[in-house]
């Protein structure tokens, strides 16, 4: 991605891959090295903006897809990339959408844990996702 390009908007995120791509774009546009991102995350944690600092290895592993994307990493990426805090709610929404798509996919593939999760969320999901519960 070129530095002049705009990253994918969080409201356009549907899948976990969409979310990862959008976050990598945001991080790339920040121009931060892993070391600078680590230092900035530490500073933001000291200020109470982030709950935990994130290491440069964690940033590297996120960008290179060597580790699963976690909410903690997502928050660190948007924080160090100077995404305004009033936009974080959109990223949280994108996180939930991507996570739910992952769970739904796992449930379609027969994952017992995913089916159990969907069953626990039965009251909330049919309206949003249209999941048939009569099966």
C-alpha to C-alpha distance for 114 and 102, rounded to whole angstroms: 9
Question: Residue length, the chain?
Answer: 135
More confident residue, 67 or 107: 67
Total-model pTM: 0.74
What confidence tier does 105 reach under pLDDT thresholds 50, 70, 90? confident
Which pair of structure tokens corresponds to residue 111? Answer: 């994952």
In tens, the pLDDT along 117-134 reads: 667 666 554 443 444 444
C-alpha to C-alpha distance for 14 and 94, rounded to whole angstroms: 7
In tens, the pLDDT along 38-88 reads: 999 999 999 999 999 999 999 999 999 888 788 899 999 999 999 999 999
Does residue 111 surpass a pLDDT of 80? no
Helices (H), the chain: 16-30, 34-46, 56-63, 71-80, 88-108, 112-120, 125-129
């Amino acid at each position: 991605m070129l530095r002049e390009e705009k990253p994918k908007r969080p409201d356009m995120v549907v899948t976990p891959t969409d979310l990862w791509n959008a976050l990598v774009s945001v991080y790339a546009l920040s121009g931060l090295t892993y070391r600078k991102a680590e230092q900035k995350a530490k500073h933001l944690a000291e200020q109470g903006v982030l709950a935990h600092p994130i290491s440069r290895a964690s940033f590297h592993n996120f960008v290179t897809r060597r580790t699963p994307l976690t909410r903690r990493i997502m928050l660190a990426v948007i924080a160090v990339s100077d995404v305004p805090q009033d936009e974080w709610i959109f990223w949280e929404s994108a996180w939930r959408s991507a996570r739910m798509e992952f769970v739904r996919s796992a449930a379609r593939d027969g994952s017992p844990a995913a089916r159990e999760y969907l069953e626990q969320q039965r009251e909330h999901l049919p309206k949003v996702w249209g999941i048939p519960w009569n099966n």
